[in-house]
Chains A and B, each alone.
Chain A
Amino acid sequence: MTIAQVRDILEARVLSGAELLENEVHSACGSDLMSDVLAFVKDQSVLLTGLLNLQVVRTAEMMDMKCIVFVRGKVPDETILSLAAARGMVVMSTGFRMYNACGRLYAAGLVSLEGVR
């Protein structure tokens, strides 16, 4: 699906990278623990998190992720947004909590690559 579809499914507000919404994403990962995200080297394109600091962007950067979704209506500050923009990532904020946000995307066909080798 496209990042624009992710936005629609999550009824999210795009905070940066609006020009990248037509990019395709195929899998996602939801976590508040960064080493947990880093444990799967496979292509994960979307990171959902309730954590709000620069290391979220760094982690996504190491993993070549294309989109960060902050759940529970969290809105990152300008330093987070500008680093994400410099790394070519879309950042959005959804009012849904983690479980619902992940469930919506999963049901719409955005898979997890956990266990895929």
Chain B
Amino acid sequence: MSELVLHYEVEGANFSAAGEASSAVKRVLSRLGLSDKVVRRASICLYEGEINMVIHASGGVIDVTVFPDRLEMVLKDTGPGIRNLEEAMREGFSTASDSVRDLGFGAGMGLPNMKKYADDITVESEVGVGTTVRMVVRLDG
């Protein structure tokens, strides 16, 4: 069985468009007949990552590959990077500005949510270079 590959470019600094890629992926996954729970978990992970790319970086690219047994989602940006990953993964840690908070983000829950709902997550980040988040969601989950 061949895998399905989805690719999206995410615009930075376009808050209204943020989430369009996640929405498109969610609709594709639903049509594939995956369980609601798997689709929702994958959608939450992707959406949190997409929002982060918009509010903390300057957009980036998203690649989603659907394998027979799992989804792999890679979000890559060339934003400012994360100085302390351990700190960033902690519930409640956020560097979001007040203007971002006014939009309903900046609870410091995005990365913890991604960790909770992905079966596997790795975050690679270098200050001044960018951030790459890889997540796997198993289809039998």
B107 interface contact, C-beta 8 A: yes
Is there contact, CB below 8 Å, between B110 and A55?
no
Whether the pair A61, B23 counts as a contact (CB closer than 8 A) is yes
A53 and B44 form a contact (CB under 8 A): no
CA distance in complex: A62, B86 (Å): 27
> Which B residues touch A105, using CB under 8 A?
none
A58 lies within 8 A of B23 (CB)? yes
> Binding site of B, secondary structure by majority: helix, strand, loop or mixed?
helix
Partner of A55, one of B26, B103, B109, B116: B103
> Does A51 reach chain B (CB closer than 8 Å)?
yes
Sort chain B's interface into a size bin. Answer: 20 to 34
Nearest-neighbor residue (CB-CB) of A58 within chain B: B19
Residues from chain B with Cβ under 8 Å of A41 in the complex: 37, 40-41, 44, 117
The answer to whether B22 has its CB under 8 Å from any CB of chain A is yes
Stretch at the interface among A28-36, A68-76, A95-103: A28-36
Whether the pair B104, A38 counts as a contact (CB closer than 8 A) is no
For A36, give the chain B residue with the smallest CB separation.
B107
In chain A, positions 5-55 with a C-beta closer than 8 Å to chain B are 32-36, 38-39, 41, 49, 51, 53-55
Given contacts A35-B48, A35-B113, A79-B16, contact A62 B105 (CB under 8 A): no
In chain B between 85 and 113, which residues have their CB closer than 8 angstroms to a CB of chain A? Answer: 103-110, 112-113
For the complex formed, measure the closest distance between the CB of B33 and the CB atoms of chain A, giving whole angstroms: 15
- Contact status B103-A38, CB under 8 Å: no
For chain B, residues 21 to 79, give those with C-beta under 8 angstroms from any C-beta of chain A: 22-23, 26, 36-37, 40-41, 43-44, 47-48, 51
On chain A, the residues within 8 Å of B37 by CB distance are: 41
- Give B contacts to A, CB under 8 Å: 15-16, 18-19, 22-23, 26, 36-37, 40-41, 43-44, 47-48, 51, 103-110, 112-113, 116-117
A-B residue pairs, 10 tightest by C-beta: A35-B109, A58-B19, A62-B43, A33-B107, A51-B104, A34-B104, A35-B107, A62-B47, A38-B44, A54-B16
**5 chain-A/chain-B pairs, Cβ below 8 angstroms:** A33-B107, A33-B109, A34-B104, A49-B104, A59-B47
